[in-house]
Structure formats: structure tokens, C-alpha cells
Amino acid sequence: MQHIRDGIMVVNTETIAGKVITQNLGVVGGSTVRAKHIGKDIGALFKNIGGGELRAYTELLEESRNEAIARMVADAQARGANAIVNVRFATSAVTAGASELFAYGTAVLVE
């Protein structure tokens, strides 16, 4: 994974090809907690019986990843970084029906 978001290069590797890390600015992160929608749950129940992709949940997870990445990038920008390396994702259940998606990595300066 490598892309540029709001001027910050975001990668899931420890280094960036062709770049030199000149300063480590620490761990940055961003998270979002999302709850399921009852209508989506009912639709998912029928999909579970018949099989197939649960598109409503796929869309929910994509939105969650984008929001968590945006918050992580904002954290990196506040520290003066121009890249985030070693990006990872984690999830956890907060309550019944609500989950957190957390994106984290190391904010760096690269040349």
C-alpha cells in the first residue's frame, strides 16, 4: 500500500523506496467507532442464509478505514511529518453492535 493523502505519503513498509528517513516523529494514529444499522443487519441476515458479499458492511468498513486514515494523517501533519511508514490497522468491539477501527503508523520526515 502506498498513496499520498493531503500531502503525506502513507505506506505499509518500514522504508520508502528512493527516500531517506531523516527524522522519526513518533507513533501517530486515528480511529473511528461505527455502529451497525438495523436495516443493514436485517439485509445481512438474509445474505448469510443465501451467501454472498455483505455490501453494506463492505461500504461501512471502507468508510471507517478512510476516516481513520484521515485522522492519522492529520495527527502526522500536526507533528510536521511528510510521510507515515509501517501503517497498520486494528479493530476492536466497543459494545454490542459497535466496533472501532484504528489506523496507526510512524510519522517521519523523508528526503
Beta strands at 8-11 and 21-35: parallel, antiparallel or unpaired: unpaired
- Cell matching residue 63: 468508510
pLDDT per residue of the chain (111 residues) written in tens, 0 to 9 = 678 989 999 999 999 999 999 999 999 999 999 887 655 555 555 555 666 777 777 888 899 999 999 999 999 999 999 999 999 999 998 887 788 999 999 999 999
Indicate the domain borders of the chain.
2-35+65-110
Contacts of 26 (CB under 8 A, 6+ apart): 79, 106, 107
Three-class DSSP category at 7: coil
Please tell me the pTM assigned to this model. Answer: 0.85
User: How far is 33 from 68, CA to CA, in rounded Å?
Assistant: 9
* CATH dotted code for 2-35+65-110: 3.30.110.70
- Asked if 34 and 101 count as a contact pair (C-beta separation under 8 A), the reply is yes
